[in-house]
Amino acid sequence: MKIPTTSEVLAREPFQGKLLIDGAWVDAADGATFERESPAHDKVVAVYAKAGVADAEKAIESARRAFDHGEWPKMKAAERATILRKVADGILARKEEFALMETLENGKPYEQAMSEIEGAADLWQYAATLARNLHGDSYNNLGEDTLGVVLRDPIGVVSVITPWNFPFLIVSQKLPFALAAGCTAVVKPAEVTSGTTIMLGDILIEAGMPAGAVNIISGSGRVVGDVMVTHKDVDMLSFTGSTGVGKQAVAKSADTLKKVSMELGGKNPQIIFDDCDWDAAVDATVFGIYFNAGQCCNSGSRILVQKSIAEKFVAEVVERSKLVKVGDPLEAGVQVGAITTTKQCETILEYVESARKEGATIALGGSRMDTDGGTYIEPTVVTGVTKDMEIAKEEVFGPVLAVLTFDDLDDAIDLANSTLFGLSAAVWSKDFSTCMTAARRIDAGTVWVNTFLEGNAELPFGGYRESGIGRELGRLATEDYTETKTLFMHLGERTNWYLPKG
């Protein structure tokens, strides 16, 4: 894979992004703009139109019109599928540009960004297959005079709000499935990683998406996000982000009783039993916490290690962590890039400090790296953690591993289920019974068995408890964006209620 050099990339003019409203690229009504600097290079890499309330309202109006009077919801599913496949092809044709934009705005290694863009294209392909398989139901067993038919209708206008950690992958977990169902949408990426979502606009237009079916606006969550959450003409909110903002969004959306689909935070445990495949478990621990600089809802941010092996296991994790290559995300072989925002960098360091204050030991790292620019944090391992500490309960969203220990399976499950989250978990053991018993008792939307952080479009994804509401992906992914309508059909003469006939 050829990676563009840092000097070549930084010499380019910043990307200029506008708002896609009703099929046209426009400036914000008040002309406002905002800039994004690369967190790895401290250089402005993009300038965006900054949507305000009026722009958000226009975008919603356009999506509403496209749904109520446009062709997209009425189109044959096969035709919609063709357009979604063209979008997938369009993404792949420009994957280098997309990967570069993700790297520059998020700080993630280019090679990783590339595989996310390819994965995102696969989601558009998968959604195309679901479009043609979406169907209702019928009941021919309700008696001779009754036929029941259940229709599936697209739910309407969907607000899609996404975070900055996997910008393009996450918009691709939502938008193509909403479109496959026949919905129209208003999409808002996170302020700091708007690039690839804006770039998608041109691909949608080229693929033949009707004007207004997808509107893309960049801007502040508190301003335009709020309009998208509260507006009466929006039928569904599909949100991925922090649990705190997610809860507020659910509360605010309640006034219009729109449907909500929420993908929120996690504090995901990897449970390491003493009979695990040692090397694989050490590797997955390191991968689980440092992948994407720990800025994953699915990060394995807690390991629960059986006491009999804890000391030796953790010592190996520390040694392996020292080998992780952190640095310029445009350099080949770099595994961990920059922390996406300075604010996030500060939050991570505050959590490390809080762990220290609560009596945990910083066995490795714990500081911002002394680099010539960029926001980088050392791979960090915190030991001596107990379940009541902040570092054990809250999502740090950084390369900080909390290590807890347990005696037996009951103890491990108690620890695993001891946070308010329930997004994902992993179990490491060579014993089938141990794996299955643990997997069945853990409260989480995904449990990996002897692996970590793998996924497929076919497998549903989402969280228990405060990790979210609803599921994305999987064969039912498009159904979430529909309403059902029951047709109760009476055949033959009806018996009167008021006056019996004759």
Q: What is the C-alpha to C-alpha distance for residues 419 and 408, in angstroms, rounded to an integer?
A: 19
Q: Is 297 in the site for ligand NAD (CB under 6 A)?
A: yes
Cα separation, 199 vs 301, whole angstroms:
32
Q: Which of 179, 264, 330, 473 binds ligand NAD (CB under 6 A)?
A: 264
DSSP for 140-192 reads --S-TTEEEEEEEEE--EEEEE--SSSHHHHHHHHHHHHHHTT-EEEEE--GG
Question: Which residue in 123, 229, 326, 377 binds ligand NAD (CB under 6 A)?
Answer: 229
By CB under 6 A, residue 238 contacts ligand NAD: no
- Phi, psi (degrees; rounded to nearest 5) at 41: -130, -5
Q: Binding residue for ligand NAD (CB under 6 A) from 468, 471, 477, 482? A: 468
Bridge partner list, 361: 383
Contact flag: residue 191 with ligand NAD (CB under 6 A): yes
| Contact call for residue 395 and ligand NAD (CB under 6 A) | yes
The count of residues interacting with ligand NAD (CB under 6 A) is 32
Select 191 or 316, whichever has its Cβ closest to ligand NAD. Answer: 191
276 is catalytic: no
Q: How far is Cα 269 from Cα 272, in angstroms, rounded to an integer?
A: 9
Residues 203-222 that bind ligand NAD (CB under 6 A): 221-222
Nearest-approach distance from CB 224 to ligand NAD, in angstroms: 8
Exposed e or buried b for every residue in 264-289, given b needs 16+ CB within 10 A? bbbbbbbbbbeebeeeebbebbbebb
Q: Please report how close the Cβ of residue 82 comes to ligand NAD at its closest, in angstroms.
A: 29
CB 106 within 8 Å of CB 190: no
Looking at the Cβ atoms of 217 and 276, the one nearer to ligand NAD is: 217
Q: Please report how close the Cβ of residue 184 comes to ligand NAD at its closest, in angstroms.
A: 19
Instruction: List the one residue from 33, 248, 354, 386 that touches ligand NAD (CB under 6 A).
Output: 248
- Displacement of CA 169 from its chain's centroid (Å): 7
Catalytic residue at 297?
yes
Residue nearest to ligand NAD (CB): 221
Q: Which of 62, 162, 405, 478 binds ligand NAD (CB under 6 A)?
A: 162
Tokens of 210: 């009707």
Please pick, among 297, 345, 378, 472, the residue that the annotation labels catalytic: 297
Please identify which residue in 163, 327, 365, 474 interacts with ligand NAD, judged by CB under 6 A: 163
Question: How many CA atoms lie less than 13 Å away from 355 in the CB half-sphere?
Answer: 32
Q: Does 343 bind ligand NAD (CB under 6 A)?
A: no
Neighbouring residues of 56: CB distance < 8 A, sequence distance ≥ 6: 186, 217, 219, 223, 224, 227, 228, 231
Q: Phi and psi at residue 268, in whole multiples of 5°? A: -85, 125
Nearer to ligand NAD, 245 or 427 (CB): 245
Give the C-alpha separation, 19 to 218, whole Å. 7
Determine contact, residues 78/136, Cβ cutoff 8 Å. no
Instruction: Give the shortest CB-197-to-ligand NAD separation in angstroms.
Output: 10
Name the active-site residue from 105, 263, 316, 472. Answer: 263
Q: What residues between 406 and 445 interact with ligand NAD by CB under 6 A?
A: 423
**Residue 168 vs 273, nearer CB to ligand NAD:** 168
* 165 interacts with ligand NAD by CB under 6 A: yes
Minimal distance in Å, beta carbon 262 to ligand NAD? 8
Among 296, 7, 60, smallest CA distance to 167 is for: 296
Phi-psi region at 37: left, alpha or beta (left = phi > 0; alpha = psi -120 to 50) = beta
Tokens 């399976």 label which residue? 409
Interacting residues with ligand NAD (CB under 6 A): 161-166, 170, 188, 190-191, 221-222, 225-226, 229, 240-242, 245, 248-249, 263-266, 297, 395, 397, 423, 463, 467-468
Residues tagged active-site: 263, 297
